[in-house]
Amino acid sequence: MRGLGAFLLGMVLVLLLRSTALSPLAARGIVVDVLAFATVFWALRYGAVSGASFGFMIGLAADLDATHWMGRHALVLSILGYAIGRLARTFERESGRTQLVLIGLAVAVHQAWVVPFELGGLEGLGSGWPYLLGRVFIGALATAPLGALLLTAARRVTGRSVFGHALVNPG
């Protein structure tokens, strides 16, 4: 029951953060991709299946929150959650460099998938390549260091591992 409560609380916090506190930055062109960050965190902490489930649910909730095609966030976030959850078994989850790379990669993939939908599909992408590349670059550059810093700060404040015991594999 506690896991379900954390799941729902995490989803609500991420969606509120995305639609309220981070929207002024997005209006200025700085995308902090809190959906990808939360999916990476959940996948590193709980493993591949939970990461995919969290990514799908938060993506579906984000799709319901906005007025666009259903499933565009849900698909890519569930795949990212599963892939990063599988990688969590092979990488050192507590390493700041690992977190930086995984968050940056997840944000880049998420933005590269979502932006063509905003440009009107592949037809709009013909003239929108500079916008796509800029948004992917700025999103990864803004979110990855901020996410890694947030995870490091959480580890230092609590005095223990954010992702559980290092010898126990997630999933």
Picking from 51, 82, 45, the residue whose alpha carbon sits closest to that of residue 164 is: 45
Q: Would you state the structure tokens that stand for residue 46, as one six-digit string?
A: 């709980």
Q: Helix 72-87 crosses helix 48-65 at what angle (to 10 degrees)?
A: 160
pLDDT value of position 101: 93
List of residues 6+ apart from 64 with CB closer than 8 A: 70
The b/e string for 7-38 (b: 16+ C-beta within 10 A; e otherwise) is beebbeebbebbeeebeeeeeeeebbbbbbbb
The answer to whether 92 and 72 are in contact (CB under 8 A) is no
CA distance 103 to 64: 24
pTM of the model: 0.85
Could you list the mean pLDDT of each consecutive 10-residue stretch along the chain, which spans 171 residues?
74 76 68 90 91 92 76 91 90 87 94 81 68 86 91 88 62 54
The b/e string for 75-111 (b: 16+ C-beta within 10 A; e otherwise) is bbbbbbbbbbbbbbeeeebbeeebbbebbbbbbbbbb
Picking from 50, 30, 27, 26, the residue whose alpha carbon sits closest to that of residue 38 is: 50
